[in-house]
Amino acid sequence: MQVFVHDCTASQAHAIKDIIDRLNRCQNEFQFVLHRKENSLNDSSPVSWAGAVEHVRNSVRADQFVVGIIESPLEYNWFSFTNPQANCSVITTHGWDVISYLPIESFIGYEIVMNLQEALIQWEDYSFAHLEPLGCINDMCGYKPHISFKIRTGDVCPACMETWKEKLTEAQIGAFQALLDTIRGVALGREPSSTVPVEEQSVFPVAVLWRLLRQETNSARKFLRLLDLFDMAVRYSVICLVAESLYLCNYSGTQNRLN
């Protein structure tokens, strides 16, 4: 089965290509075909589900299953959704750096697999979703950082597996399991990520607080970490500005003496 993946992002092309290559290598049941699509969405404003589907499905045949990846937030603050009637899924990477410390490749791959199984089973009302996290692919993750838990487990609960056995072929189930294993390997660092974490590009004090913020699962403590990060960013900026000012003053004084 061919699955068309439309990259509508401005900055995630490398990560998306990397995970698509991995998904294609680990199984033969699904062929993920990557296309670059021009983004016409406002990356800062929430996009309605209908608007996201229209953007992703534009100029694509109705019989082709399409997964669109965008950077704009979705309405209802969801990670992704599937519209079986439109033969389409949409995933947003908005805010991932704050939600989780896992590589964004693992998130993108996981959401592709999760929405593909929803489309094949024709789930439409989300009555199958687990409100309390079980580490299953169909956990609802009402508290968004819980998604890290199910990505790391790469598991399917017994009830959902029974549904898989009723609605999917053995080849599809085997492919999904191989896909989840691959994604779990990326999440756990067993397969190197193609993107450099934010903390590796930041100065040490900011990097430490950023890592703590991403790893925190409690919402109240996460907010406190965010305040700490803001405080540290202000302090570091002031130190840099003062140092730059002193350097310029010393440089000007030296130039005056030489003249």
Query: What confidence tens digit (pLDDT) does each residue in 155-199 have?
Result: 999 999 999 999 999 999 999 999 999 999 999 886 655 555 555
pLDDT tens readout for residues 207-236:
776 667 666 667 777 777 778 878 878 887
Domains defined along the chain, listed by start: 2-187 (3.40.390.10), 199-258 (no CATH)
Pairing, β 2-7 against β 88-92? unpaired
Q: What CA–CA distance (Å, rounded) separates 102 from 58? A: 31
Ordered strands of the 31-36 beta sheet: 31-36, 2-7, 66-70, 88-92, 80-83
Chain-wide mean pLDDT for the chain? 85
Distances (CA, A) of 25 to 22, 68, 116, 255, 257: 5, 21, 17, 62, 67
Query: What pLDDT score was predicted for residue 107?
Result: 96
- Residues of the chain with confidence (pLDDT) below 70: 42-43, 59, 190-204, 209-211, 213-217, 251-259
